[in-house]
Each structure stands twice: as C-alpha cells, then as structure tokens.
Amino acid sequence: MTEILPVAATLIRRRHLLGGVGSLAAFGLLAPPARRAAHAEPRFTSSPFTLGVASGEPWPESVVLWTRLAPEPLDGGGMPPEPVEIRWQLAADARFRTGLRQGVVVAQPELAHSVRVEVGGLQPGRPYWYRFIVGGVESPVGRTRTAPPANAAAQGLRLRLAAVGCSNYEHGWFTAYGHLAAEDLDLVFHSGDYIYEGRARGNRPFRHGSQAVRQHRGGEARTLAEYRNRYALYKTDTDLQAAHAAHPFAVTFDDHEVRDNWAGATAPGNPPREQFLLRRAAAFQAWYEHMPLRRAQLPRGADIRAHRHLDWGRLARLAFLDTRQHRTPQPCGIRRGARCAGALDPGATMLGSAQERWLFDTLGASRARWHVLGQQVPVMQIDRAPGPEQVFSMDKWDGYAAARARLLGFIAARRIANPVVLTGDLHEAWAGELKADFDDPRSATLGVEFCGTSISSDGDGREQDPNTPRILADNPHLKFFSRRRGYLLQSYEAGRLVTAFREVPYVERPGAPVATRRRFAVEAGAPGLKEG
C-alpha cells in the first residue's frame, strides 16, 4: 500500500497542526514532503481536463467548484510530481461578462492534481457559470447554483432534486446521466456506488445480464493508484461529465467505493483489520479527490466525516448519511433470510452512536417544511418471500431492526415534519411508506421512502420479477416496483412533493430515450403516497 504514504504523510502534518495525529500515527507513515513552489505555466500537448468539471455542496452564499488535471487519465493522470497553479473563473452569465470573479488554486500531486474551490460571497438562489484555465487551456464550462437564503420562507420556494446511484461501467452505458443533464434541476443527490471496485470481467456474463458492455481495466482496485484510475475511467464518460457540468451534486458513498458489502472495519473474507483500514484509507482519499466536496470532508487516514446537511431555505433540510463506516457488521451473515437474534440486537447500529445523535439533533432543531434523509440502503421493510415466510436482506436496515426502531421512534415522538427517505443500492425502484409497525398495515404512517434504481448496474433490467405481485401484496406499505434503469426526479413545494420515476428501456446499447414510468405525490402534513 505504498501508494498512499506520501498523501497520508501530508495528512499527518495537517493533523499535527490541528492538535493530534490520531489513528494515522498507528500506521507508522512517512514524514511529510518538503514544501515546493508551484509550477505556474505548464504546457500541454493534450487537454488536461479529460475528467470534466463539477460543482457541489450549494450554500446560500457559497458553492464548491472541482476539476482534476489528467492529460493521461487512465495511467495515473500523466502529470509531473509537482504543484501546478490553475486559474478559476465564476460569473453570472455563460459568457463570463457579468459579475466575473476569479482566482488561483494550486493542484497538488498528493491529491492527484485535483482541486476544489469554495467560492464565497455569492448571491443566494441564483445560477452561476464557471471554468478553469491552465497552461492556456480552458476547461469545459459548468453551470451551478446557490441555495436560497437560509431564512427564506417555504411558501414560494421550490426545490427540483434528482436522486441517482449505482453506475457500473461494465454493465451498461450511462445514458440516464445524459438525460439527467437536460433536466431542470437545482441539485443532484448521488446515493453511492459511483464506481465499482471489481476486476475487469472480460466477456464473462454479469449477474442478471448478458455480456460485459464496457471494460474495466486491470484487477480489483485496492491501492490508491488503482482507485484513482478507476474513478478516472468512469469520469471519462461523456454523459457523466454532462450531468456534473449541468448541476451541483451532493454525494455520499455506499459499498463499492471501497469493497462490496463492507461494514465498519470489516469486509467479506475477513481481511486483517489493519490491511482493510489501509485499503479504506486509499478508497476514501480517491473518493475525496474526485468529488465536489468541501475541505471539511478531507479524510483523516481511514476515517472521513461524510454525514452533513444542506438547507434549502425553510422549505427543506437535507441530511446526507453514511451507513457504511460506523455500522456494526451485518448480522446472520451477509445474506437474505429470516432474522436471527443479531438482527434484533439493541446494540447493533447502522449509523454509529455519534452520527445517530447528530442526525436526531439536526432533525430536532430544524424548522423546515420537509426533512429529506439521503442515504444508501432501504429503511422500509421489504419481505422478499411470498406467503407467510419472511425473508430479509441483512445488509439493509431490515438487518438492524433496533436501529430502525430508534430512527422511526424519534421521528414519531418529535413529530418531525414530512420525512422523506431517498435510497439507492438495490438496482430496483421502490416507492413505499414508513410505518410505525411494518407488520401491521393499520399502524401510523410516519413518512415515505423512494428507492431509486441504478444508472446501469445489472444491465437493461425489466419492469417486474415473477414474484412482484405477491411481494407487493405481502408488503402493503410498498406501492411501486420496477427493475428498469434511470433516476428519481422530485419537486418540493411548501404544500406538496411530487416524485417521478424516470426510466430508460435499455443500457446495454447507447441511445435509449427516457420517460416517466410512475409519479407519486405527498401532501405536506399528510404522510402517505398518492398517485401524482
């Protein structure tokens, strides 16, 4: 794992400045590199902006701008091992004639020559355009937007939000991202599985599909260099670049950004703890390098604070959760089956005690009309066995019944206004209601959950499975299912939320059209799903 040592050493120096080295010292990492002057005017024989541009984390007066210099994106980036100055520009119009602001940011080799600019002093609730310039080369132009004023009343505000996740490069084309770029949106939430860490499959068939549509390169990503190359491969996709250039993103991660089905400091196959934490550190750093995150999300070795919230005036508070890093290991093994005693353990946690307290404080202190939890795996109960037998996935909240009861119990006791959960992971689209007791259809409805399907994972998919009608009948709180690919499109207003399931009919070849498969409405103050 020598690839991560220079950057980890830089982080050690930062930790010393902050007052402690924490867990990084336990890895015996190297001393920090000497400070070097930035190379002001590099020259490029090809564009260094092969990975596009992105923006994210919109606040009322601030937004994050991102890019990475990578003239040879699939072979480590192709940059010399020295800092490089990049000029950034942001303006109130696409031609950069109005309200132009600009500055210089240094792209450091320790962060793969990625940069993030937290531009402050902006006007709330309006669009901006941005670009980067280095060595006389201009990046593509991106469009972003700020959030409305923090105290803006819910009445009269609107939030157009899309939710996406699970984009496996080998399983299909990212056509849905291209359609997403054309939508009229304020923000995109990515629920995770932005990349897949697995080795190249060649022409081996993938699960639920036929042949690998496109090729990963090399083996399973384990080192920092390998994770960087995997992100670069995905970010060369033009549809993904278009989505990032069109809208600001708020992102979290699920399992495939690190290792399939990982939980806390454990992973399938039970690798030694120290070995897996080094891999997790590499994965977190590569994720940070390639996402439009704020500096507050800078990893500290194998730890990262991914949970945070955004406000859209007093219309919506959006809390983005991390259901991987702090959870206890999956009970009963990583499988589908009946709940064992571990699934009912009151000490089991999905969020960890600190994040759970943070979430309850964040929800309890809010005066927003809508409360949106953006996270990874389904909260609502999904019994997969038709008939009296019950079968659950132990990797979802179904495997952490006590943790779910704490969450829903808090929402009920504190009367949190209009909870909405956004979820990914399953490669399936579901719409359902959050019940006080999922086994009693007559129990109180506390909120709603929308599970978005994948961008491409598991290939073309299908509208229904053979058991779908019986599963829906056995789970009356579930109102919709589809296994096609696409994304969620939502419109929040003071009195109403409308959610559309946008689908493409195929991804195993390019060029699919997009259409709305189903639409649901939720009235403020009346939790439950209605045809929209």
Each residue's pLDDT expressed in tens, for the chain with a length of 532 residues: 223 233 333 332 333 333 333 333 333 223 334 456 666 678 899 999 999 999 999 999 999 999 999 999 999 999 999 999 999 999 999 999 999 999 999 999 999 999 999 999 999 999 999 999 999 999 999 999 999 999 999 999 999 999 999 999 999 999 999 999 999 999 999 999 999 999 987 666 555 555 689 999 999 999 999 999 999 999 999 999 999 999 999 999 999 999 999 999 999 999 999 999 999 999 999 999 999 999 999 999 999 999 999 999 999 999 999 999 999 999 987 778 888 888 999 999 999 999 999 999 999 999 999 999 999 999 999 999 888 889 999 999 999 999 999 999 999 999 999 999 999 999 999 999 999 999 999 999 999 999 999 999 999 999 888 888 999 999 999 999 999 999 999 999 999 999 999 999 999 999 999 999 999 999 999 999 999 8
365: in domain: yes
Tokens of 3: 């690839």
Answer whether residue 77 is part of any domain.
yes
CB count within 10 Å of CB 384 equals: 17
Residue where one domain finishes, among candidates 112, 145, 178: 145
What pLDDT sits at residue 336? 84
Assess if residue 426 is contained within a domain.
Answer: yes
Q: Is residue 152 part of a domain?
A: no
Q: How far is CA 198 from the centre of its chain?
A: 18
Domain shared by 347 and 492, yes or no = yes
Same domain, yes or no: 332 and 445: yes
Strand partners, 132: 88
Q: Are residues 243 and 376 in the same domain?
A: yes
Query: In 46-124, which ranges are continuous DSSP H helix?
Result: none
How many residues are listed for the chain in this entry?
A: 532
Helix (H) or strand (E) holding 5: helix 5-18
Residues 506 and 395 grouped into a single domain = yes
The answer to whether residues 245 and 213 belong to one domain is: yes
List the beta bridge partners of residue 488.
163, 501
Residues 115 and 204 in one domain: no
> What's the pLDDT at 36?
64
User: Residue 528: which of 496, 505, 500, 489 has the closest Cα?
Assistant: 496
Residues 27 and 46 in one domain: no
Residues 84 and 22 in one domain: no
Q: Decide if 51 contacts 73 (C-beta within 8 A).
A: yes
Which strands make up the sheet holding 308-312, listed edge to edge?
A: 308-312, 316-320, 370-374, 419-423, 445-451, 429-435, 478-482
Would 409 be classed as within a structural domain?
A: yes
Specify the CATH number for the domain of residue 403: 3.60.21.70
CA atoms within 13 A on the CB side of 178: 14
pLDDT for position 24: 35
In a domain, 151, yes or no: no
Domain boundary, last residue among 118, 145, 172:
145
Q: Distances from the Cα of 450 to the Cαs of 186, 271, 310, 453, 505, in angstroms? A: 19, 34, 19, 10, 20
| Cβ proximity of 497 and 161 under 8 Å | no
Residues 6+ apart with CB under 8 A from 469: none
Q: How many domains does the chain have?
A: 3
| Pair (201, 319) in one structural domain | yes
Q: 98-120 in b/e burial notation, b at 16+ Cβ within 10 A? A: eeebeeebbbbbbbbbbbbbebe
Please give the pLDDT value at position 35. Answer: 55
CATH of the domain at 98: 2.60.40.380
Q: Quick one: 102 and 236 in the same domain?
A: no
Dihedral over alpha carbons 433, 263, 324, 24 (to 10 degrees): 170
In-domain check, residue 477:
yes
CB neighbour burial string for 260-289, b if at least 16 within 10 angstroms, e if fewer: bbbbbebbeeebeeeebbbbbbbbbbbbbb
Domain, as residue range, for 23: 1-35
Question: Are 366 and 292 part of one and the same domain?
Answer: yes
Burial 413-449 (b: 16+ CB within 10 A, else e): eeebbbbbbbbbbbbbbbbbbbbeebeeeeeeebbbb
Q: How far apart are CA 322 and CA 352, in angstroms?
A: 9
Query: Residues 381, 363: one domain?
Result: yes
* Collapsed DSSP state (helix, strand, coil) of residue 8: helix
Q: Assess contact for 67 and 51: CB atoms under 8 A.
A: yes
Cβ of 412: how many Cβ atoms within 10 Å?
15
Handedness of CA 247, 245, 377, 203 (dihedral sign): positive
Residue 337 burial (C-beta neighbours within 10 Å; 0-12, 13-18, 19+): middle
- Tokens 């353990």 identify what position? 345
What's the predicted TM-score (pTM) here? 0.92
Query: Considering 124, 145, 166, which residue would you say is the last residue of a domain?
Result: 145
DSSP string of 250-265? EE---STTTSTT-BTT
Query: Can you give the pLDDT at residue 17?
Result: 30
**Domain presence at residue 420:** yes
The order of strands in the sheet holding 526-531 is 114-119, 62-68, 53-59, 249-251, 187-190, 158-164, 485-493, 496-504, 515-523, 526-531
